[in-house]
Amino acid sequence: MASLRFPFSFSQTQPPHYSRPLSSFPVAAAVGATAVGATAAFVVLTSSSSSSSHRQFLESAFNFLFSSDRTSLPAWGTLSLADMSVPVVESKSGATFPSVLGDSQKLCGIGLRRKSVFGLKNIDVYAFGVYADDNDIKECLAGKFEKLSALELKGNKEFTEDILENDISMTVSLQIVYGRLSISTVRSAFEESVGSRLQKFGGSDNKELLQRFTAQFKDEIKIPKGSVINISREKGYVLRTSIDGQDVGSIQSKLLCKSILDLYLGEEPFDKQAKEDIELNLASYLQK
């Protein structure tokens, strides 16, 4: 079968509510014995020796335990694993993400990008994880939001807008899960999605900026299933892109940084459930 080109509809189809990744975390006394069972489930689920059937059973049990009130779950931002190298699994695709990226960026949430082919079938294109530097969050936003709880900040448009606007080190890590994706498809996808955000935030005169960004995805680059594309906002509003660990370019532009992050945190995110998780965990950094 030829590489899938770009017959995708870009309507924002909300993916099904997949099971959230299971992580070990400190638990308030009010959570009680329920958390003990959840922690046990995590240990088995992240063990490479666990059978598939055991993982599925325990994941279902975990979701049942917490489904009645998911707001009682501790935020992922409160992770205190002794071994922070324990990966987190996006359950629908099986893609894994490290809990910490680089020296300081912590995983805030994971999601799945789906697209509709000819309006007939949805395919899973890539899983993504959003990371942020918790010290940057505190430095930039604590003075304004520290008196509000994480739950109060969840869905707070002003808080989300400040995350998008401020010079906070963040990374969106994309892991390809569709095996027949070509680099030209990725380039075309960014032309449409990022292009629409550039126009939304900066007006129509940003074609040159968009072209500079999409030109980084050169035809000779191969992206088989499992390839990782990291797009990072570095200090000074520098957007740096790497593919499978190889740097492919950087662009200094506050507008471009905001436009990329808006795809995952804005008013029309690729995965609405992921956005809620990311917001909750970003907010939790202010309470530490």
Can you give the CATH number for the domain in which 181 is found? 3.50.70.10
Helix residue ranges per DSSP H, the chain: 33-45, 52-66, 134-145, 150-153, 157-165, 183-202, 207-214, 254-265, 272-284
pLDDT for residue 85? 64
Full pLDDT tens readout for the chain, 288 residues: 444 433 333 333 333 333 344 333 333 333 333 333 333 333 333 333 444 444 444 444 434 333 434 333 333 333 433 345 689 999 999 999 999 998 889 999 999 999 877 777 789 999 999 999 999 999 999 999 989 999 999 889 999 999 999 999 999 999 999 999 999 999 999 999 999 999 999 987 899 999 999 999 999 999 999 999 999 999 999 999 999 999 999 999 999 999 999 999 999 999 999 999 999 999 998 887
Mean pLDDT score of the chain? 78
| Contact predicate 185/5, CB 8 Å | yes
> In this structure, is residue 37 part of a structural domain?
no
Q: How many CB atoms lie within 10 A of CB 103?
A: 6
Task: Return the sign of the alpha-carbon dihedral for residues 185, 189, 192, 198.
Answer: negative
Let me know if residue 268 belongs to a domain.
Answer: yes
Does residue 44 belong to any structural domain of this protein?
no
* Residue 74 included in any domain: no
- Residue 194 located in a structural domain: yes
For residue 163, give the 3-state DSSP assignment.
helix
Taking only the tens place, the pLDDT of each residue in 104-133 is: 899 999 999 998 777 777 899 999 999 999
Maximum separation of any 2 CA atoms in the chain, in Å? 57
| DSSP letter (8 states) at residue 68 | T
The amino acid that residue 209 corresponds to is L
C-alpha distances (whole Å) from 176 to each of 110, 112, 200, 244, 247 are 13, 10, 27, 11, 17
Instruction: Tell me, yes or no, whether 5 lies in a domain.
Output: no
Number of domains in the chain: 1
Alpha carbons 271 and 130: distance in angstroms, whole number: 12
Q: Which residues form the domain of 191?
A: 87-286
For 214-250, the pLDDT digits (tens) are 999 999 999 999 999 999 999 999 999 999 999 999 9
- 51 lies in a domain? no
Give a yes or no: residue 118 inside a domain.
yes
